[in-house]
Structure 1
Amino acid sequence: MSRVRRYNWREDRGSYSVETVILAPAIIALMLLMIAFGRITDASGAVDGAARAAARAASLEREAGAAQAAGAAAATRSLNGEGIRCGSSSVSVDTSGYGLEIGQEATVRVTVACTAPLGEIGLPGLPGSRTLRASWTSPIDSYRGRQ
């Protein structure tokens, strides 16, 4: 006759504690990594939107100086409106299209850079910040007066 051994549940006592101690740091690190990637993706979309808004605002102006000011202001408003907190940011407005003759196709190109802080997430090995850049080009009305 074979002996059937009955399973004693008392032998597993404490195994859930050990599993939790082993898996908890890995799950927490995965969640923090997901938060970091989400923040980068969100900031990247906001920087792209700011470049688009700045190029559009700059293309509506009649002179290069006003276009640069309008582009910078629109980019700042757009980033603030999205709630993106940049450690440092820069807006570059290329207004060389304003020097072309009326009737020629001309454009305004805006480049927005934002350094998004990541250090507060607290995940070891994650860089302290990441610089995101986006450029956008908008046409200037070919038959509107320019200065």
Structure 2
Amino acid sequence: MITTALRRQLARDDGALSLEAMILFPVLIMVLLLIVAFGRIQSSGNAVDTAARNAARAASLERDAGAARSAGTADARAGLRDQGLSCTAVSVDITTDGFNAPLGTPATTTATVRCTVRLSDIGLPGLPGAKTLTSSFTSSIDSYRQRD
């Protein structure tokens, strides 16, 4: 008698595991894709932060505004490339007002880096196709270094 009741119980559960798997697998895949998307955004944000920091530092080491813009822009683009970040659009802005300050006066230069990262290849429904990441960093210009 126990075996007959057990058989009936097992017969009623046929296919339940398959149904649960069909419901659970898409949810698990979406969660994994969401983790991949957040990971990509986080690592890309770190790369943009590093590029802005390096660009501001490179600009602050120059003697005039034109050279500062060139050095900062080149350093930011090289930093993004070295970090393996492929941006669909890159913008680097270097403020050079500090180069007009008289010697002995504290001055700074700021680099702002914008990078648009593609997310459409992840394939998660509802995820935007791209995200623009922005980072700024300010670096001091040597107050007593000669400026042109």
Give the TM interval when normalised to the shorter protein.
Answer: over 0.9
TM-score (norm 2): 0.94
Mapping for residues 21-40 of structure 1, pairs under 5 Å: 21-40=22-41
Aligned with 1:109: secondary structure?
strand
CA RMSD of aligned residues (A): 1.2
Please list every run of at least 4 consecutive aligned residues from structure 1 whose deviation after the TM superposition is greater than 3 angstroms.
none
Whole-Å separation in 2 of the counterparts to 1:10 and 1:83: 55
Aligned with 2:6: secondary structure?
coil
Whole-Å separation in 1 of the counterparts to 2:12 and 2:137: 65
Structure 2: tracts of 5 or more residues without a match: none
Aligned with 2:147: secondary structure?
coil
1:20 counterpart residue number: 21
Whole-Å separation in 2 of the counterparts to 1:115 and 1:13: 50
Give CA deviations for 1:36-81 in whole Å, capped at 9, x if unaligned. Answer: 0000000001000000000000000011100000000110111011
Structure 1: tracts of 5 or more residues without a match: none
Corresponding residue pairs, total: 145
Aligned with 1:35: secondary structure?
helix
% identical equivalent positions = 50
Mapping for residues 105-116 of structure 1, pairs under 5 Å: 105-116=106-117
Mapping for residues 1-147 of structure 1, pairs under 5 Å: 6-8=5-7, 9-147=10-148
Aligned with 2:25: secondary structure?
helix
| Structure 1 residue 14, shift from structure 2 partner | 1.5
